[in-house]
Amino acid sequence: MIIRPTIFDQFSEIITAQSSRLGGVSPEPYGMNLSSHVGDEQSNVDENRRRYFEAIGVPADAKAVYQNQVHSANVNLVTGDEGVVKESDALITAEPNVLLGVTVADCTPILLYDPKTQLIAAIHAGWRGTEQMIALAAVRRLIELGAKPENLFAFIGASASKENYEVGVEVATLFESKHSTELPGGKYLLDVKGANHEQLLFAGIPAEHIELSPLCTISDERLHSYRRDGAKSGRMLAAIMRLI
């Protein structure tokens, strides 16, 4: 199973996708794990990445850039030679043949593309990064690089949904009340996808240019979920690259 955003179908020059738990060689519950930092064997991760990249059409000579995600609002412009960027939660590049990757298991991945400047971005937005407005920060960096928000297209990927993502009052109160629903016992359901969607709209991206995945990592067992599976959860990879 591979999640394919439809918002980018009109742009044949880019590849975009989000992986799932299915199709990998790692032992369960890792399955199709694409992260090197969850206790899985590196040889399994390498083979899973090879299978995933082959399935979504990534050229063999493409350069992949990952990041050590720290739940920040740090945005980094990359060229493709970095390999792994330290302390980062959003990557931007203007270079072709450079894949930007975001690993998630409940956090929200966001992919952005501006067909005018041909800039691409990949964002990791957990609740901490969302509260720090990582999506808005990434769009502002794109604007600094020449993009116009009305030209941007965005995919908000599969992640924990507002129906299942339970948090305490200390987290819920960091967000506007419209993004949380109070439950009995002082717990709340938090809409991280919705909060990021609002940031993209506030940044000036037209509503019709934004696709929001309805898939929930917690309830859909085809997807990785740290909330559901704990420390043995694998990670999905949301990826974007420009071919030419």
Q: Please report, for the domain that includes residue 106, its CATH number.
A: 3.60.140.10
pLDDT, position 39: 87
Q: How far apart are CA 10 and CA 100, in angstroms?
A: 20
Is 207 part of any domain?
A: yes
Which of these ranges, 7-16, 31-40, 119-128, has the smallest mean pLDDT? 31-40
Is 9 part of any domain?
A: no
Half-sphere exposure of 237 (CA within 13 A, CB side): 27
Is 126 part of any domain?
A: yes
Is 5 part of any domain?
A: no
Beta strand 98-104 with 63-67: parallel, antiparallel or unpaired?
parallel
Q: What is the pLDDT of residues 74-101, one digit of tens each?
A: 999 999 989 899 999 999 999 999 999 9
Is 121 part of any domain?
A: yes
Q: With bands split at pLDDT 50, 70 and 90, how would you rate the model's confidence at 232? A: confident
Q: How far apart are CA 9 and CA 3, in angstroms?
A: 13
Q: What is the pLDDT of residues 150-207, one digit of tens each?
A: 999 999 999 999 999 999 999 999 999 999 999 988 899 999 999 999 999 999 999 9
Domain span at residue 148? 14-242
Share of the chain above pLDDT 90, in %: 92
Q: What is the pLDDT of residues 15-63, one digit of tens each?
A: 999 999 999 999 988 999 999 888 899 999 999 999 999 999 999 999 9
Q: How far apart are CA 28 and CA 33, in angstroms?
A: 10
Is 233 part of any domain?
A: yes
- Tokens (6 digits) for 5: 């955003």
Is 175 part of any domain?
A: yes
Is 144 part of any domain?
A: yes
Q: How far apart are CA 224 and CA 243, in angstroms?
A: 28
pTM score of the predicted model: 0.95
Could you give the number of structural domains in the chain? 1
pLDDT, position 82: 92
Q: With bands split at pLDDT 50, 70 and 90, how would you rate the model's confidence at 234? A: very high
Q: How far apart are CA 118 and CA 132, in angstroms?
A: 26
pLDDT, position 29: 86
pLDDT, position 244: 80
Question: For residues 241 and 39, which has the higher predicted lDDT (pLDDT)?
Answer: 241
